[in-house]
Structure 1
Amino acid sequence: MPEISVRGLEMPESPIRKLAPLAVEAKRRGIKVYHLNIGQPDLPTPQCGLDALKKIDRTLLEYSPSQGYLSYREKLCDFYKKFNINVKPDDIIITAGGSEAVLYSFMACLNPGDEIIVPEPAYANYMAFAISAGAKIKTIATSIEEGFALPKVEKFEELINEKTRAIMICNPNNPTGYLYTRREMNQIRDLVKKYDLYLFSDEVYREYIYTGSPYISAMHLQGIENNTVLIDSVSKRYSECGIRIGALITKNEEIRKAVMKFCQARLSPPLIGQIVAEASLDAPASYYRDVYDEYVERRKCLIDGLNRIPGVYSPIPMGAFYTVAKLPVDDSDKFCRWCLEEFNYEGETVMMAPASGFYTTPGAGRNQVRIAYVLKREDLQRALVVLQKALEAYPGRVEEE
């Protein structure tokens, strides 16, 4: 039998989904599983988007343009103006989710062997997309003790060499919920300008910022307009993960031309998804306000609850709907498996994402988990009770000295 490719062997498993079979088996045994492992919002999709889906009366479901429908891109321009992001329809390419936007950014801008600097912990699929493009992720460590703040410039410059081609950020961050400050964004800008790097900025959680401060987008950074590629998606904004609609946005015409070749090869982004996403832009202000307010309350419920559990620590996330928490366990991978395979409290258990999957540094994140606060508060409160009971019963519990 022929051998699997090196690329296929190097492709990492998803830390978010790899435990899914264990959760299925737990449910088969009658155990209720609280899913804290995946960023699948449970809040409703905008009614205007659902109505557009129900009212599709086409007699033909044709290919859409490879760059996405013009009408949708035009409406997106108006949407971005709310965040002081000024772009033209031609600056926007519609993709099959934010994932395809990241992959095509890498494919268009990077050569095999090129290096991308990424603060860790980081969204695990960045590694998968880099492997697909033949590029290499070089991580720069952030720490839970410092709230995952960005390291000093010197730490970045220690990693920069002739192979360094780009910096990738997620802002607000997945998995930590960290929000980069203006100072940190300016620091990144100066590095990009000094070393003539690309800046890939994943901003799919832009709507969920809890500081009250103005949002700093990579598109706001002056002097690096042609270096910047913004990644966006409707998955989290409108609870529309399943329609697979994202966007790649850049003012660099050469990047867009290169990306379009990949877009033409895959023919077109999802037709039905674009119809729903375009209609969802008409969601009333009350929709955004209600969703935002709900996440604010969930964040308080989760973070307060976590930090009341003996031995557990979580910094306060300033954006997105995730946190990384430190647990008093020997190995969070083992603990998460144990919760699904061996533990239940009154017929219930919790499913979390081991944080080790969000690091590339060996041993990093060994006692950490990513938790998504995408459940209603009553469920979050109950999940916290179950988590505390699990930590009390876990045979690999480690007490801090």
Structure 2
Amino acid sequence: MPTISEKGKKMPASPIRKLVPYAEAAKKRGTHVIHLNIGQPDIKTPKVALDAIRNNTIEVLAYSMTEGSEEYRKKIANYYKKNDISVSHEEIIVTTGGSEALSFAMGTIMDPDDEIIIPEPFYANYNGFATASGVNVVPIVSTLENNFSLPPIAEFEKRITSKTKAILICNPGNPTGYLYTEEEIKQLAELVKKHNLFLVADEVYREFTYDGTEHYSILQLPDLEEHAIVVDSVSKRYSMCGARIGCLVSKNKTVMDTALKFAQARLSPPTFAQIASEAALDTPQEYFYDVIEEYVERRNILISELQKIDGVKVAVPKGAFYCVVELPVADADDFAQWILESFEMDGETVMVAPAAGFYATEGLGKNQIRIAYVLEKEQLIKAVHILSEALNTFPNK
């Protein structure tokens, strides 16, 4: 029998999706599953985006430009300008989701066995993108006790070697919801300039910041142009996860010229999804005011309810729509599977994402889960009550 690749064997399963078979089995048994595992917002997609598809009269669904349509990229550049980020459309490549932008970034700046430093816990698919590129993730632990703030710069310094090519952050963070301060961004900027590294920032949750805080982009630093690479996406911003449209942004011409070659290999991003995403940029700002207000209320209710459970610890997110929760169990993977297989309350159960998959360091996050608060407040309250009862019943503490 032919064998699969070593790379394939090392490819990690998604902690967000690996329990889907157990959730589907629960549904087939008649149990309603409340999904806290995945960041699929229930907020409605802007009507202007959907209408752009409904009312389109395209007769031939042709390829677009490899880098995305010029009109769309110019509108993206204008969007950034409104956010105090100065880039031209020529410094933007439209990608098939933020995932492809991350893959292009890694392929552009890193060779096999190179190293990328990432504060953990981090978006689980970073492990997958690194494995696919033959790149080694060098993690730096951030802790729930510090609300997952940026680890000391000295810890980054200790891990920089001749193979280090970049530092990667998610801001605001997935799975932590942590929002890096302007001072923290500037500290990282000084570090990458000192060691001649790239700073890659996944900024797909830019709009979602709370409690009077504001997002600060690495592209706002005028002296970081050769080092800064931003990954972005429409998925969360406009509740358009299924569109699979993102972009890669950098003022470093060599980076963009090289990334374009990777983009050419996949031909072009999807045409209809670009049309919808371009139209979405006309969404009025009031849309975001309403969405942010809703997420703040959901966050506050979720945190309040979780804090009522004995033995549970939770970080308070300042952005995005996730939080990391520490449970009074030895193995959150076992608990997450058990609650789908063996527990229900009034015909319902919950699906969570075990947090170990958001770490690169073996053994960390074993008693943690990530919760996405993308459901209505009543559903969140119900889900936490189910979690509480399940923790009281779970036999493998």
The question of a shared fold, defined as TM-score above 0.5 by the shorter chain, is answered with yes
Q: Hey, what's the Cα distance between the residues in 1 that align with 2:172 and 2:387?
A: 26
Is residue 2:110 matched to residue 1:100? no
RMSD over aligned CA atoms reads 0.8
- Other structure's SS at 2:307 match: helix
Aligned to 1:390: 390
Amino acid aligned to 1:138: V
* Structure 1 unaligned residues grouped into runs of 5+: none
Aligned to 1:179: 179
Q: Hey, what's the Cα distance between the residues in 2 that align with 1:221 and 1:291?
A: 28
Amino acid aligned to 2:179: L
- The correspondence of residues 364-383 of structure 1 with structure 2, limited to 5 A, is 364-383=364-383
- The correspondence of residues 226-375 of structure 1 with structure 2, limited to 5 A, is 226-375=226-375
Amino acid aligned to 2:249: I
Amino acid aligned to 1:41: P
Amino acid aligned to 1:62: A
- The correspondence of residues 1-40 of structure 1 with structure 2, limited to 5 A, is 1-40=1-40
Q: Hey, what's the Cα distance between the residues in 2 that align with 1:344 and 1:213?
A: 39
Is residue 2:244 matched to residue 1:207? no
- Is residue 193–residue 223 contact of structure 1 (8 Å, CA) maintained in 2? no
Q: Hey, what's the Cα distance between the residues in 2 that align with 1:360 and 1:214?
A: 29
Q: Following TM superposition, by how much is the alpha carbon of 1:213 offset from its aligned partner in structure 2, in angstroms?
A: 2.8
- Other structure's SS at 1:316 match: coil
Q: Hey, what's the Cα distance between the residues in 2 that align with 1:193 and 1:87?
A: 20
- Other structure's SS at 1:66 match: coil
Q: Following TM superposition, by how much is the alpha carbon of 1:324 offset from its aligned partner in structure 2, in angstroms?
A: 0.2
Aligned to 1:148: 148
Q: Hey, what's the Cα distance between the residues in 2 that align with 1:161 and 1:378?
A: 49
Q: Hey, what's the Cα distance between the residues in 1 that align with 2:70 and 2:213?
A: 32
Aligned to 1:163: 163
- Other structure's SS at 1:154 match: helix
Q: Hey, what's the Cα distance between the residues in 1 that align with 2:112 and 2:275?
A: 36
- Is residue 171–residue 180 contact of structure 1 (8 Å, CA) maintained in 2? yes
Q: Following TM superposition, by how much is the alpha carbon of 1:287 offset from its aligned partner in structure 2, in angstroms?
A: 1.3
Q: Hey, what's the Cα distance between the residues in 2 that align with 1:253 and 1:360?
A: 32
Aligned to 1:43: 43
- Is residue 209–residue 320 contact of structure 2 (8 Å, CA) maintained in 1? yes
Q: Hey, what's the Cα distance between the residues in 2 that align with 1:396 and 1:221?
A: 50
- Is residue 37–residue 353 contact of structure 2 (8 Å, CA) maintained in 1? yes
Q: Following TM superposition, by how much is the alpha carbon of 1:94 offset from its aligned partner in structure 2, in angstroms?
A: 0.1
Q: Hey, what's the Cα distance between the residues in 2 that align with 1:275 and 1:70?
A: 12
State the 4+ residue runs in structure 1 displaced beyond 2 angstroms.
none
Q: Hey, what's the Cα distance between the residues in 1 that align with 2:15 and 2:26?
A: 18
- Is residue 209–residue 318 contact of structure 1 (8 Å, CA) maintained in 2? yes
Is residue 2:216 matched to residue 1:216? yes
- Other structure's SS at 1:308 match: coil
- Is residue 83–residue 215 contact of structure 1 (8 Å, CA) maintained in 2? no
Using the size of structure 2 for normalisation, the TM-score is 0.99
Q: Hey, what's the Cα distance between the residues in 1 that align with 2:214 and 2:346?
A: 45
Q: Hey, what's the Cα distance between the residues in 2 that align with 1:337 and 1:131?
A: 26
Amino acid aligned to 1:336: A
Q: Following TM superposition, by how much is the alpha carbon of 1:290 offset from its aligned partner in structure 2, in angstroms?
A: 1.2
Q: Hey, what's the Cα distance between the residues in 1 that align with 2:301 and 2:391?
A: 19
**Identity of counterpart residues, as a percentage?**
51
Q: Hey, what's the Cα distance between the residues in 2 that align with 1:370 and 1:213?
A: 22
Describe the superposition over 1:312-347 as per-residue Cα deviations: whole angstroms up to 9, x where unpaired: 111210000000001111100000000000111111
Q: Following TM superposition, by how much is the alpha carbon of 1:56 offset from its aligned partner in structure 2, in angstroms?
A: 1.6
Q: Following TM superposition, by how much is the alpha carbon of 1:255 offset from its aligned partner in structure 2, in angstroms?
A: 0.7
Amino acid aligned to 1:255: V
Using the size of structure 1 for normalisation, the TM-score is 0.98
Q: Hey, what's the Cα distance between the residues in 2 that align with 1:362 and 1:252?
A: 35
Describe the superposition over 1:219-253 as per-residue Cα deviations: whole angstroms up to 9, x where unpaired: 12232211111000000001100010000000011
Amino acid aligned to 2:326: K
Aligned to 1:83: 83
Aligned to 1:189: 189
- Is residue 179–residue 215 contact of structure 2 (8 Å, CA) maintained in 1? no
Q: Following TM superposition, by how much is the alpha carbon of 1:211 offset from its aligned partner in structure 2, in angstroms?
A: 3.3
- Other structure's SS at 1:226 match: coil
Q: Hey, what's the Cα distance between the residues in 2 that align with 1:183 and 1:89?
A: 28
- The correspondence of residues 104-119 of structure 1 with structure 2, limited to 5 A, is 104-119=104-119
Amino acid aligned to 1:205: Y
Amino acid aligned to 2:118: V
Q: Hey, what's the Cα distance between the residues in 2 that align with 1:125 and 1:214?
A: 26
- Other structure's SS at 2:314 match: coil
- Other structure's SS at 1:86 match: coil
Q: Hey, what's the Cα distance between the residues in 2 that align with 1:337 and 1:211?
A: 35
Q: Hey, what's the Cα distance between the residues in 1 that align with 2:323 and 2:207?
A: 17
- Other structure's SS at 1:223 match: coil
Q: Following TM superposition, by how much is the alpha carbon of 1:18 offset from its aligned partner in structure 2, in angstroms?
A: 0.1
Q: Hey, what's the Cα distance between the residues in 2 that align with 1:60 and 1:139?
A: 47
Q: Hey, what's the Cα distance between the residues in 2 that align with 1:303 and 1:214?
A: 21
Q: Hey, what's the Cα distance between the residues in 1 that align with 2:65 and 2:162?
A: 38
Describe the superposition over 1:84-134 as per-residue Cα deviations: whole angstroms up to 9, x where unpaired: 111100010000000000000000110111100000001111111111111
